[in-house]
Chain A
Amino acid sequence: MAAESPTSVRKVVVHLRATGDAPILKQAKFKIPGTDKFAKVIDFLRRQLHRDTLFVYVNSAFSPNPDELVIDLYNNFGFDGKLVVNYACSMILTSYFHTSKGISLVVF
């Protein structure tokens, strides 16, 4: 089987959308190969926001598993040529974590 050339890998447009108290990114739109896992989007967000703990979800009330391929998410939840990925920081949720043990939240 011939190796795939870069131009034959379909890229997906991802639009990162801040919700709740989350900071808005300067660069909120980018393209990512469809064959990449959603984990890459999450890692990108973490690096951009300098936060380990995020709550990430798509418009259909679903928090995607990091192992899902971006192209599968786009095919199921994409709209208008892009995949909208909403993110919220743990601030909304940490209020009760601080009242429990004061240890930081696990990533969803």
Chain B
Amino acid sequence: MMDVFNWDGTVSAKDFRIGALSFAQKWESLNSAFPPWSWVPCPKHPWLASPELFQEEGYLSLENICISRPYEVDIDQNSQTDPGEEETSCSEKEDDIDDATLVQSNHHELHYCDFHIVYSYTFRVPVLYLRAYCSDGRPLLLDEIEKELPACSSKESPETKWAFITQEEHPYLKRPWYKLHPCGTSEFMKLLFLGGDTGQPKLEVVLELYLLSWFSAVGQVVGLRIPCKMLNDRR
């Protein structure tokens, strides 16, 4: 049995599946801001009778997530507000946008995104696939997606573009999706688990938490947030 010192940052397909189901369960109970992930099975050889050969592959799916950022409506764009007439009843400093008062301007279409977490047999790590579209179903191009997602907000310098997002055929759906390329995953997964100063974890713990830790990093790129209490909920 391999110990954690030799761990290369990857997981087996079986551990991916176990981890994915556990991740989906935790997400459902502790991340109610979002709808739950579903496991979509993709039987490789459904015609084979033998159960040993019947490997259940599959992926996690989270679909129809609205990624459009709310815009403030300029009710009257042309008139200038007299500063003297401004409401001064709100004395608190408002750092965050009050969602209750934001309305989608009808000039802006809503954009949605489907996210799939798929296992890569080549890299032996999970891979995030995504596909974005308008409410009328028109697929969004990468530069349109980039505008919506937090990693590409205007605060970031122009150099921080998505270097590692590529368009590829979805391994199960056989349609073009975008994916976050997995080749650096094993490196940052090793860092996540072995880079801290609290001593080396047990390998079983690593495998159990793998999807969760992976997603804490990758999810930020696409604006899917894991609340920290999800990580702390350990059996």
Contacts and interface: CB of A to CB of B under 8 A. Distances in A.
Interface of A: 17, 19-20, 52-53, 55, 57-68, 72-73, 76-77, 79, 84, 86, 88, 92-93, 96-97, 100-108
A52 B188 contact: no
Contacts of B197: 17, 59, 84, 86
Contacts of A101: 163-164
A100 B192 CA distance: 23
B163 A103 contact: yes
Contacts of A59: 196-198
Nearest to A58: B196
B137 to A, nearest CB: 28
B114 to A, nearest CB: 20
A60 B231 contact: yes
B151 A63 contact: no
Contacts of A108: 188, 217-218, 220-221
A66 B160 contact: no
B72 interface: no
B213 interface: yes
A57 B192 contact: yes
Contacts of A97: 163-164, 184
B195 interface: yes
A52 B160 contact: yes
A106 B160 contact: yes
Interface in B96-151: 151
29 contacts: A17-B197, A19-B191, A52-B156, A55-B217, A57-B191, A57-B192, A57-B217, A61-B192, A61-B193, A62-B226, A63-B217, A65-B228, A76-B229, A77-B228, A79-B198, A84-B196, A86-B195, A86-B196, A88-B195, A92-B188, A93-B188, A97-B164, A103-B163, A104-B161, A104-B163, A106-B152, A106-B162, A107-B156, A108-B218
